[in-house]
Chains A and B, each alone.
Chain A
Amino acid sequence: MRKKKKQTQPIKIIALVVVLLPIIFYILVATIGRQNFSLPHRLAIEILGPVQNAFSKTLGLGSNVWHHYFSLVGVAKENEQLRQEIQQYKKITSSFREAAAINGRLQKLLNLEKSTKDPNISAQIIGRDPSLWFKTLTINKGSSSGISQGMPVITAEGVMGQVINVSPHYAKILAATDPNSAIDTIIQGNRIQGIIKGDGHGYKLRYILKNITVNKGDRLITSGMGGIFPKGLPIGQVDEVIKSRRGMFQKINVKPAVDFQRLEYVTVILHTKPSSK
């Protein structure tokens, strides 16, 4: 009887290795490259989401205490600097108001249709990609709030990314700085079109021919051509222009309008149809 038990043990291990493991491997390899959450993924994010939420809240509380009570050194100096900045911004706002008023009058004159704003929803970032390679974030709103795959995500500063996966209460965002991200763009000054690609830290502006003049500081906005982002959202500013001997195109580095390190809240534009305003 004992001998039989001893004999069945290696058979079980061999059966496990020969039959079960290749099946597991096959299933995993078959699912590789998918971009939609399957049931285990949805379950995983629904379980992990509250954990991230709890950590984020604890971190926020700790950070709040630190900033309000312990980190007050040099606050007077910072206050003075901020007052000066407010003065500057007041001047800028005033000029913007004037520009908006002129724009409004011109629109009326030209009988242009008023652009309708898409509905949107705010969400909190509860987790960030811990890997070396990717730039994704997790937010605390999902399909139950009307969010679906492909929706654009913005902040007050400009374009932030787009929704790539959704579960009922959470969603994964692909940041515009991720190498897999591509956004159609226009250089605001000369209206030249290009593609903004993420490079892990900032952006690269692709497909701009060498005979086109692009200067440091030129602003980039969304073109609305990709059908995902509405037209006119700020993307960033040209940081460096390199014209190498080889190739047809310039190498242009772009500084993002959004500070990805300090993001806490984002806005998801809830449009389902491709936007080509």
Chain B
Amino acid sequence: MRFFIFLFLGFFFIGLQSTVFQDLPKWIGMPDFLFLLIVFIAIHFPIAKGAALTIIFGILTEVISGYFLGIYAIAYLLIFFMIKGLSIGLAIDESNHQPPIVALSYLLANVVIYACTAMLSADNLLPWNWGEILQRLLIITILTVPMNILFEMLWKNKKKNNDQQLFVKLFQQQKGNRYRNNR
């Protein structure tokens, strides 16, 4: 169920970023909610489901963005595994630890996209604009904590529902050793 909730959220963010956010004033920049969602998925989801969601988001992004296909899926998947690896050794699931990781991984994702495009089309080098990159980095770093709280709410809300269902199940199992199944 969580898989579909976050999948729907990804769809919503891609739709939002490619339409409504395009009309935002230039000085505000363009917040990349989808990237924040991918970081959250990398930290919280199990590998298989998280990777599947990340690939789906990569494919969805590349149908509306870019000239060459396949770049976003690769870049997002690399970021997913990098954060997944970090989350095993470090306590990055806490909100206040995430902004630097998000900023670094966002920069890395853009480097991967830039490098892949440069390799595929060496004659048409993309203009590397530090101003815009730093602006986006700043926005995404600022938005990390509030968006993470929102995602946590969705995540925990589902977990709470699961716990409630579990409680009902436990309550119904009155006979015998009720702890046996929970070991």
| Minimal Cβ-Cβ distance residue in B for A50 | B15
Cβ-defined contact, A180 with B124, below 8 A: yes
The SS class assigned to the B binding surface is helix
Give Cα A41 to B73, complex, Å.
11
Contact code string B81-123 (vs A, CB < 8 Å = 1, else 0): 0000000000000000000000000000010011011001100
Query: How far does the Cβ of A22 sit from chain B's closest Cβ, in whole Å?
Result: 12
Cβ-defined contact, A32 with B126, below 8 A: no
Query: How far does the Cβ of B35 sit from chain A's closest Cβ, in whole Å?
Result: 10
Query: How far does the Cβ of A246 sit from chain B's closest Cβ, in whole Å?
Result: 18
Instruction: Tell which of B67, B69, B133 touches A41, judged by Cβ atoms closer than 8 Å.
Output: B69
Contact code string B132-165 (vs A, CB < 8 Å = 1, else 0): 1100100000000000000000000000000000
Cβ-defined contact, B67 with A34, below 8 A: no
Residues in A neighbouring B117, C-beta threshold 8 A: 133
Chain B, interface size: which category?
35 or more
Cβ-defined contact, A48 with B126, below 8 A: no
Q: State whether the Cβ of B168 lies closer than 8 Å to any Cβ in chain A.
A: no
Cβ-defined contact, B55 with A28, below 8 A: yes
Cβ-defined contact, A32 with B116, below 8 A: yes
Query: How far does the Cβ of A126 sit from chain B's closest Cβ, in whole Å?
Result: 7
Query: How far does the Cβ of A168 sit from chain B's closest Cβ, in whole Å?
Result: 13
Query: How far does the Cβ of A130 sit from chain B's closest Cβ, in whole Å?
Result: 4
| Minimal Cβ-Cβ distance residue in A for B22 | A128
Chain A, interface size: which category?
35 or more
Q: State whether the Cβ of A136 lies closer than 8 Å to any Cβ in chain B.
A: yes
Q: State whether the Cβ of A37 lies closer than 8 Å to any Cβ in chain B.
A: yes
Query: How far does the Cβ of A166 sit from chain B's closest Cβ, in whole Å?
Result: 11
**Provided the pairs A52-B19, A130-B18 are in contact, do residues A136 and B11 lie with their beta carbons within 8 angstroms?**
no
Give Cα A16 to B51, complex, Å.
12
Q: State whether the Cβ of B9 lies closer than 8 Å to any Cβ in chain A.
A: no
Residues in A neighbouring B18, C-beta threshold 8 A: 52, 55, 127-130, 138
Cβ-defined contact, A35 with B65, below 8 A: no
| Minimal Cβ-Cβ distance residue in A for B132 | A132
Q: State whether the Cβ of A31 lies closer than 8 Å to any Cβ in chain B.
A: yes
| Minimal Cβ-Cβ distance residue in A for B67 | A180
Tell me how many residue pairs across A and B have CB atoms closer than 8 Å: 148
Cβ-defined contact, A51 with B12, below 8 A: yes
Give Cα A164 to B62, complex, Å.
12
Q: State whether the Cβ of B79 lies closer than 8 Å to any Cβ in chain A.
A: no
Residues in A neighbouring B32, C-beta threshold 8 A: 130
Cβ-defined contact, A48 with B129, below 8 A: no
Query: How far does the Cβ of A273 sit from chain B's closest Cβ, in whole Å?
Result: 24
Cβ-defined contact, A130 with B21, below 8 A: yes
Give Cα A131 to B114, complex, Å.
11
Contact code string A100-135 (vs B, CB < 8 Å = 1, else 0): 000000000000000000000000001111111110
With most chain A CB atoms within 10 A of its CB, the pick from B19, B66, B127, B136 is B19
With most chain B CB atoms within 10 A of its CB, the pick from A63, A138, A179 is A179
Cβ-defined contact, A200 with B127, below 8 A: yes
Residues in A neighbouring B11, C-beta threshold 8 A: 47-48, 51
Residues in A neighbouring B133, C-beta threshold 8 A: 132
Q: A residues 40-74 with Cβ under 8 Å of B?
A: 40-41, 44-45, 47-48, 51-52, 54-56, 58-59, 63
Give Cα A164 to B59, complex, Å.
16
Cβ-defined contact, B125 with A179, below 8 A: yes
Instruction: Tell which of A20, A51, A136 touches B14, judged by Cβ atoms closer than 8 Å.
Output: A51
Cβ-defined contact, B65 with A129, below 8 A: yes
Which residues of A are at the interface with B, using a C-beta cutoff of 8 A? Answer: 13, 16-17, 20-21, 24-25, 28-29, 31-38, 40-41, 44-45, 47-48, 51-52, 54-56, 58-59, 63, 126-134, 136, 138, 164-165, 172, 174, 178-180, 182, 197, 199-200
Give 10 CB contacts A-B under 8 Å.
A16-B48, A24-B55, A33-B68, A45-B63, A48-B60, A127-B19, A130-B18, A130-B30, A179-B124, A180-B124
8 more CB-based (< 8 A) A-B contacts, given A25-B77, A138-B64? A21-B51, A36-B69, A41-B59, A55-B20, A59-B19, A127-B19, A130-B61, A131-B65
